[in-house]
């Protein structure tokens, strides 16, 4: 469950009246305001050869140049905004700084006049010492050794990109870029802006979509990506264990979330993979509950859907635990149905199966749904399938909801979540169990296996922590 907020509205600056006083004030503000957002400090990245190989794979699939732009760092006006690169751009370059551009020429393009032309170009901004005073050093096309650092044989000034794209229109009849994603209310602003820019620079050219080709690559994880994901998952296992230990009635949801975020950050996570969900009692039935304001009560069940990001890659793990350390019989009944559904899906998980919700024979979702719908009843004697209101899983990666095609067969190298859930509002009873798995040649590797799912084991961890708390409190009294 849960998605990172990806919609970043470009806010228009207000037009101010041009009075002298306002001008002076604006001048002063300009002197003190940081020129752009901070960039996210990622702990690690893959070797340049990995990004190079991805670009080469794309170049082999196209008959026209690919033109992509990274984020500008002006996607948001919020003071808390921290720059992180547009995911596809990052996937192909490993470059996490503002105002960069990328042109990849088709592999088979080289006519006589283009034979010696570079096959791919990274465009970087010029040196800006004034900006660097505020935000630190940024890479520039003029830096010595920039080719070796970026893994591009050709790095040019961003200012030249427009003319370069213009001149491509003399040789090619089309350009590939990422066309706006129609399903998302007409597309993300960045994608629309890039298309607008291309239509301005090269009005005659036919634009083609490269999204599907990049998505196909992104679905299969490299060893480096799997290592980053495992690191994010390990940190997330730690934070969920800590949440089990501190959980008790009287805490607020935000206190539990804060502790989990602390565990991630102290372990080297540069950001959360998504806004933490800690939903107690009635809030356990809201999938993306984000208020975190409830004081957790005795008898509440608590859904924790919290995941760390590490070096750009996000874990996505949920556990559901009893606030007071002991499931009620009804909570346990529903919990065990969700666990049974997850285990049924895991037992069938291997390449060739899929996450399709349409319910084909190869659908793991159908297996989990059938399990839920054939076990237990609601208060009215009805089957529980109607309370399983989301899909079984999704790809994870640079985005916690990484691109993927749910009705296509799973392949080795994909990393997906397995997360059945039951949400019965009438009973203030929501249960989700979510784990992350790597699809292998013969089945799967359980990447989050070290975090207990067995309810008795969860109760034991909570009881041990409660006993320790009581002991410490008694010591304090003496």
Q: What are phi and psi of 119, to 5 degrees?
A: -85, -15
CA angle 308, 312, 313 (to 5 degrees): 55
> Would strands 101-104 and 120-124 be described as parallel, antiparallel, or unpaired?
antiparallel
CB of 103 to Mn ion, least distance (A): 35
Sign of CA pseudo-dihedral 401, 405, 410, 413: negative
Shortest distance (Å) from residue 437 CB to Mn ion: 12
| Least distance to Mn ion, CB of residue 419, Å | 5
User: Nearer to Mn ion by C-beta: 1 or 66?
Assistant: 1
Nearer residue to Mn ion within complex by CB, 404 or 455: 404
H or E element in which residue 416 lies: strand 415-418
Nearer Cβ to Mn ion (85/395): 395
Q: Which is nearer to Mn ion, 46 or 316 (CB)?
A: 316
**Long-range Cβ contacts of 133-140 (<8 Å, 24+ apart):** 134/34, 134/35, 134/36, 135/34, 135/35, 135/36, 135/37, 135/38, 135/39, 138/39, 138/97, 138/98, 139/95, 139/97
CB of 434 to Mn ion, least distance (A): 5
- Distance (Å) of CA 21 to CA 18, 24, 29: 8, 5, 12
Smallest gap from residue 317 Cβ to Mn ion (A)? 8
Angle, alpha carbons 412-418-423 (nearest 5°) = 160
Shortest distance (Å) from residue 307 CB to Mn ion: 8
Q: CA 185 to CA 310: how far, in whole Å?
A: 30
Q: Alpha-carbon Rg of the chain, whole angstroms?
A: 25
Sheet holding 318-322, edge to edge: 277-280, 301-305, 318-322
To Mn ion, the closest distance from the beta carbon of 305 in angstroms equals 7
- SS3 letters for 371-382? HHHCCCCCCCCC
Cβ closer to Mn ion: 288 or 326?
288
H or E segment to which residue 272 belongs: strand 271-272
Nearer to Mn ion, 272 or 316 (CB): 316
Helices and strands in the chain: count of H runs, count of E runs: 13, 19
| Minimum distance, C-beta of residue 170 to Mn ion, in the bound complex (Å) | 47
CB nearer Mn ion, residue 191 or residue 316: 316
Nearer to Mn ion, 1 or 205 (CB): 1
Q: Least distance from C-beta 127 to Mn ion, angstroms? A: 42
Q: Could you tell me where the DSSP H helices lie in 103-156?
A: 129-135, 146-150
Instruction: List interacting residues with Mn ion (CB under 5 A).
Output: 1, 316, 417
Q: Which is nearer to Mn ion, 346 or 466 (CB)?
A: 346
Burial (CB count within 10 angstroms: exposed 0-12, middle 13-18, buried 19+), residue 275: middle
Minimum CB separation of residue 374 from Mn ion in Å reads 24
The separation between CA 455 and the C-alpha centre of its own chain, rounded to angstroms, equals: 29
Q: Which is nearer to Mn ion, 238 or 316 (CB)?
A: 316
Residue 200 and residue 246: Cα distance in Å, rounded? 57
């Amino acid at each position: 469950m849960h998605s990172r907020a990806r919609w970043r509205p470009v806010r228009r600056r207000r037009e101010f009246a041009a009075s002298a006083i306002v001008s002076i004030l604006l001048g002063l503000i300009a002197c003190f305001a940081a020129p752009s957002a901070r960039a996210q400090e990622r702990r690690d990245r893959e070797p340049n050869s990995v990004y190079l190989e991805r670009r080469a794979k794309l170049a082999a699939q196209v008959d026209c140049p690919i033109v992509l732009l990274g984020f500008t760092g002006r996607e948001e006006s919020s003071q808390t905004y921290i720059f992180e690169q547009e995911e596809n751009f990052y996937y192909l370059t490993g470059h996490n700084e503002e105002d960069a551009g990328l042109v990849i020429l088709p592999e088979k393009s080289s006519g006589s006049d283009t034979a010696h032309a570079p096959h791919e170009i990274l465009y970087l901004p010029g040196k800006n010492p004034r900006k660097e005073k505020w935000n630190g050093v940024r890479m520039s096309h003029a830096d010595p050794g920039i080719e070796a650092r970026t893994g591009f044989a050709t790095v040019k000034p961003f200012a030249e990109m427009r003319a370069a794209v213009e001149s491509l229109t003399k040789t090619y009849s089309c350009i590939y870029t990422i066309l706006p994603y129609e399903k998302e209310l007409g597309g993300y602003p960045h994608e629309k802006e890039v298309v607008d820019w291309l239509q301005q620079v090269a009005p005659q050219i036919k634009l083609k979509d490269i999204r599907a080709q990049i998505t196909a690559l992104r679905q299969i994880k490299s060893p480096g990506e799997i290592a980053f994901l495992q690191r994010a998952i390990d940190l997330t296992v730690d934070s969920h264990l800590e949440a089990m230990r501190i959980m008790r009635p009287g805490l607020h949801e935000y206190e539990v979330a804060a502790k989990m975020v602390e565990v991630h950050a102290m372990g080297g996570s540069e950001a959360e993979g998504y806004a933490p969900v800690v939903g107690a009692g009635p809030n356990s039935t809201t999938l993306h509950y984000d208020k975190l304001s409830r004081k957790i009560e005795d008898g509440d069940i608590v859904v924790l859907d919290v995941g760390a990001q590490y070096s750009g890659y996000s874990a996505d793990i949920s556990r559901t635990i009893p606030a007071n350390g002991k499931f009620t019989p009804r909570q346990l009944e529903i919990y065990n149905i969700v666990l049974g559904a997850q285990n049924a899906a895991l037992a069938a998980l291997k390449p060739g199966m899929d996450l399709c919700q349409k319910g084909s024979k190869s659908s793991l979702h159908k297996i989990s749904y059938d399990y839920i719908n054939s076990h237990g009843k609601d208060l009215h004697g009805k089957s529980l399938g109607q309370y399983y209101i989301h899909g079984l899983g999704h790809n994870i990666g640079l985005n916690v909801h990484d691109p993927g095609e749910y009705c296509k067969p799973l392949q080795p190298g994909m990393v997906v979540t397995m997360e059945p859930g039951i949400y019965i509002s009438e009973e203030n009873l929501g249960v989700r169990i979510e784990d992350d798995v790597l699809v292998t040649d013969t089945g799967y590797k359980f990447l989050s296996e070290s975090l207990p799912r067995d309810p008795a084991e969860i109760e034991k961890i909570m009881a041990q922590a409660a006993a320790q708390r009581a002991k410490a409190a008694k010591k304090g009294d003496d």
